[in-house]
Amino acid sequence: MKFSIIIPVYKTEKYLRQCVDSVLCQSFTDFELVLVDNESPDTCPAICEEYASQDNRVRVIHKKHGTAASARNVGMKSALGDYLCFLDSDDYWIDGEVLSKINNKLEQSNPDIVELFYQGYVMSTGKYVLTPDIDYTDFYKADNEDKIKFLIVNDRLNPSAWGMCISRKFLEKSQAYFDDSKIIEDIDWCVRLFSANPKVDAIQERVYVYRIGRPGSVATTMKVQSLFDLCEIINNAPSILDVESGKSHILMNYVCYQVMITLALTYRKSVQATTKQKKEIRKSLKEFCKKYLKYYHVHPKVSKAYKIYRIFGYKVMSFALGFYLNHRSR
């Protein structure tokens, strides 16, 4: 079997059918669909069983409720396909040719990871968010490290599970399963995946649609523990990537980008954290910036922040990041 598509399912009964149908309509048919019911309290378990009774490519796993990461781990460890793809159960693939496009990449270059491009769907307006298209000519000519650098510089490195297709053999060899104790798990997973030096390719076209602003989603209910998780992931990244031994790693540029995002979030009023907690998070990342920012700032946004940092210092840079995030979000 070529693909296992894994979908953790929890409290998404309004969107689940669109998600599942977008997989089952694929023109490339050599796949299994693994629906992992995370003890959803709505009609999702019944919907999953309905699909399994109608299509023998669908398998349902019912598990005790836990994080989305725990559901993905269960799906990954039960997968039979040579390659793993993921969807969140409130999202969907853009058309019926997604697996064909991924398969073409696998046949062409035999990568360990294929990065997938996406577009957002804003729930409040019903409109799609499209980032500008870019020329991938230099990407296809580059060696593996420069391919990763290209993705970072052009905001095309997506750490989320749904943003990648991964070789199951590579995943099992690197043992890069999710840390199911964390709510924000994708950055940690991405760092550990790339620490194993995967061969990377990418699909230029948009193939995935994710919902922005869905009530109840993790992205719309940012809590302080998520920020503390991000700080821990960021501070652990240098040792995971072997930077502490003096070895440089291109992914540290992406980690520094996550530092900027985390700092900016400490100024967002909607984040459920006290002023004291926000100050604690900024303090925890100060030494990281002092140690690594001067070496890892190829991302354009990090480069701009680093210029502020050099001239005005850490405190002003942090405030400027928060001002930018709040202004951009209006």
The number of C-alpha atoms within 13 Å of 276 and in the hemisphere containing its C-beta is: 0
> Is the pLDDT assigned to residue 222 strictly greater than 90?
no
pLDDT, tens digit (0-9, with 9 covering 90-100), for 229-273? 999 999 999 999 999 888 889 999 999 999 999 999 999 887 888
| Alpha carbon distance 290, 269 (integer Å) | 26
Chain-wide mean pLDDT for the chain? 93
* Closest listed residue to residue 200, CA positions, set 185, 210, 190, 187: 190
Higher-pLDDT residue of 220, 22 = 22
Coil/strand/helix, residue 154: coil
Q: What is the mean pLDDT of residues 207-226?
A: 78
Q: How confident is the model at residue 217 (pLDDT cuts 50, 70, 90)?
A: low
pLDDT, tens digit (0-9, with 9 covering 90-100), for 40-67? 999 999 999 999 999 999 999 999 999 9
Q: Which of 43-57, 101-115, 120-134, 188-202 has the least mean pLDDT?
A: 120-134
Find out whether 145 and 235 touch, Cβ atoms under 8 Å: no
Q: What is the mean pLDDT of residues 297-319?
A: 97
What are the chain's domains?
A: 3-212 (3.90.550.10), 222-328 (no CATH)
The confidence score (pLDDT) of residue 272 equals 81
Higher-pLDDT residue of 221, 18 = 18
pLDDT, tens digit (0-9, with 9 covering 90-100), for 129-145? 988 899 999 999 999 99
Q: How confident is the model at residue 330 (pLDDT cuts 50, 70, 90)?
A: very low
Task: Give Cβ neighbours of residue 15 (< 8 Å, ≥ 6 apart).
Answer: 89, 90, 91, 92, 211, 214
Q: What is the mean pLDDT of residues 170-182?
A: 90
